Amino acid sequence: MFKNISMAMIAVFSFMVMSGCSSPNPYGDAYGSGDTRSIQQVYYGTVVKAEPVTIDASDQTNVIGTIAGAAIGGILGSKVGGGSGSDIAAIGGGLLGGYAGSEAAGAAGKRNGVNLTLKLEDGQTIAIVQEANPNMIFQPGQAVQVNVDGSTARVVPR
C-alpha cells in the first residue's frame, strides 16, 4: 500500500515540476486564449536600441522544485536501510532532493530576453522587455507595432 502511495506522490510532484517549468510560446507573436477578443491599444514606433537580457522567473518555479525534490528525495531515502537508519536516510534524501530540485528549477526559470527601447510616433520613448524570439530579431531603426493591454505590452515587427 505504501509503495502505491509513494509512486502516486512521485507522479504528482513530477507533474507539478514539469507544469511549473513549461509555458506556452512567450514571444511577442504568441497569444494565450485569455488574450483573444480583448481590445488592445496600438502604437507605432521605431526601435532605438535592442539589448539582450536574462529573464529570471526562478523565484516562481523554485518553490515547486524544492518541494518536489524534497518529497522525492525523502521517499527514496526512506527505502534505504531499516529503523533509525531509514529515518536518517529519508531526512538526508529530503535535504539533498530539495537542494537539487531548487537548483534545477532555478536553471529552468532563466530565459533569454530583449530590452527594447522604442521611439513612438507621438514622440514618447518607452522600453519593453519581452522574451527573445530567434525568429523575430529586432534591429535599431526597425518599424514596430506595440500592442498594449492594460499594464502589459508586446512588440512585433510592423
Does position 124 have pLDDT exceeding 90, yes or no? yes
Distance of CA 32 to the CA centre of its chain: 15
Question: Which three cell numbers, joined as nine digits, stand for 56?
Answer: 529570471
Per-state percent for the chain, helix, strand, coil, to nearest 5: 45, 30, 25
Whether the pLDDT of residue 1 is over 70: the answer is no
Per DSSP, the residues of 34-77 read: GGTT---EEEEEEEEEEEEEEEE-HHHHHHHHHHHHHHHHHHHH
Tell me the residue type at 33: S
Q: What is the pLDDT of residues 51-96, one digit of tens each?
A: 999 988 766 555 666 676 666 666 666 666 556 666 666 677 677 7
Query: For 33, which DSSP code?
Result: G
Q: In b/e form, how buried is each residue of 68-77, taking b as 16+ CB within 10 angstroms?
A: bbbbbbbbbb
Q: Report the alpha-carbon distance of residue 116 to residue 130 in Å, rounded.
A: 8
pLDDT score, position 76 = 64
Query: Any bridge partners for residue 61, and if so which?
Result: none
Residue 109 clears pLDDT 50, i.e. is over it: yes
pTM: predicted TM-score of the whole model, two decimal places: 0.53
Alpha-carbon dihedral angle through residues 54, 41, 135, 127, given to the nearest 10 degrees = -30
In the structure, what pLDDT confidence band is assigned to residue 119 with cuts at 50, 70 and 90?
A: very high
- The H or E element that residue 130 is part of is strand 125-131
What average pLDDT is seen over the chain? Answer: 75
Q: Domain 39-64+109-157, what fold?
A: OB fold (Dihydrolipoamide Acetyltransferase, E2P) (2.40.50)
Residue 100, classed as helix, strand or coil, is helix
Decide if pLDDT at 108 tops 90: no
